Chain A
Amino acid sequence: MSPLLLLTIALITYGSRAAAVVLLPRPGARFETMLSRIPAAIFAGLATATLIGEGGTLAGPPILGAAAGALVATPARSLLLCLLGGTLGYALGALLG
């Protein structure tokens, strides 16, 4: 890989980050409401995508256990509790798997 190619990739990456943040005007109320719905949905999607491997295979029992443990903790709306739930779930999944 050449430094020029790496620089191009870095520029694409920064450009994608800055495109909306810098160039978009502050959105109107209706669009803002729609945008406010996106984060939770994207994170739920990202969590799902990380549980499915490149060939469409499901993650192993410890990782599924970790995800289940974190899910159980979600009503508390605490990242710390989700991490604790995930850790317990991981241990349980490793034991049973």
Chain B
Amino acid sequence: MFGTLYGAAARGILGVPLTLLSSVIVYSGALQFAMVALLGVGTAALPLLLTALVLNLRHVVLGAALRARFESGALGRAGLAFFLVDETFGFAIAAGNVVDPAAVGRTTERTLLVAGLTLYVAWLVGTLVGILGGGFTAVESAAGAIFPVLFIGLASLAATRRSHVVRALAAAVLTALVAWLLPGLRMLAPVVAGVLVALPGREP
């Protein structure tokens, strides 16, 4: 659905070849939507690159959390890294949380790969449908509800201790404060808040 919205929105701004190419080589919904929105108002290259840097900063933190579970060599991890997006990270962490400790690495890597490939194909097909003129105007509002619901579900799966729940609530409050007080940093706030609330305290 989001790929279709992206394809429909981007084809008039990027043209058909670059719209397709962007989904093939970037594979990042948030960044691609931001890119099209910025290009739509005539933004130059440098602000675009800075936006890409800022929006992608969270991947470093997500990657560090996954690295603790990965067992593959550098080449395997380099291949898996392409599929690291918010949703696949959530699925991979959640899958690793419910298996025997000895199977965490293998399960996490396999889940990241399967979820990543599935979402990648869906993103490409959606982009193509959007380019070809498909539209989801009627359900655009419903589409806006998918991400908060998905992220809440993933947070509940990732919270394996009571302290994780408390930290998650604290991160939500911190993010809300930043989003209201500094709206420009809205999409960076979750990562900063997530790291800040993870630092203090010791686990038994």
**Dominant secondary structure of chain A at its interface with chain B:** helix
CB under 8 Å from chain A, chain B span 183-204: 183, 186-187, 189-191, 193-195, 197-199, 203
Question: Separation in Å of the B28 CB from the closest CB of chain A?
Answer: 5
In the A-B complex, the 10 residue pairs with the smallest Cβ-Cβ separation, listed nearest first, are A45-B190, A20-B63, A86-B149, A82-B153, A16-B56, A42-B194, A43-B155, A47-B151, A44-B168, A41-B171
B138 at the interface (CB under 8 A from A): no
Q: Given A10-B22, A42-B194, 20 more contacts at CB 8 Å? A: A1-B39, A8-B49, A12-B52, A16-B57, A17-B82, A20-B61, A21-B80, A27-B67, A36-B164, A39-B194, A41-B167, A48-B179, A49-B190, A52-B183, A52-B186, A67-B145, A70-B149, A74-B152, A76-B156, A79-B157
Contact with A along B42-69 (1 / 0, CB 8 A): 0001001100110011111111111110
CB under 8 Å from chain B, chain A span 23-65: 24, 26-27, 31-52, 54-56, 59-60, 62-63
Contact with A along B112-153 (1 / 0, CB 8 A): 000000000000000000000000000001101101111111
Which residues of B come within 8 Å of A, CB atoms? 14, 18, 21-22, 25-28, 31, 35, 39, 45, 48-49, 52-53, 56-68, 70, 74, 77-78, 80-82, 84, 86, 89-90, 93-94, 141-142, 144-145, 147-160, 163-165, 167-172, 174-176, 179-180, 183, 186-187, 189-191, 193-195, 197-199, 203
Q: Which residue of A lies closest to B31 (CB)?
A: A13
Establish whether residues B152 and A59, one from each chain, have CB atoms under 8 Å apart when the complex forms. Answer: no
Establish whether residues B148 and A66, one from each chain, have CB atoms under 8 Å apart when the complex forms. Answer: yes
Establish whether residues B193 and A41, one from each chain, have CB atoms under 8 Å apart when the complex forms. Answer: yes
Total A-B Cβ pairs within 8 A = 273
> Taking A17-B82, A59-B144, A62-B141 as contacts, is the C-beta distance between A48 and B153 under 8 angstroms?
no
Interface bin, chain A: 35 or more
Contacts of B77 in A (CB 8 A): 18, 21-22
Q: What separation, in Å, do the CA atoms of A1 and B163 have in the docked complex? A: 46
Question: Separation in Å of the B73 CB from the closest CB of chain A?
Answer: 10
Question: Separation in Å of the B79 CB from the closest CB of chain A?
Answer: 9
Contacts of A78 in B (CB 8 A): 153, 156
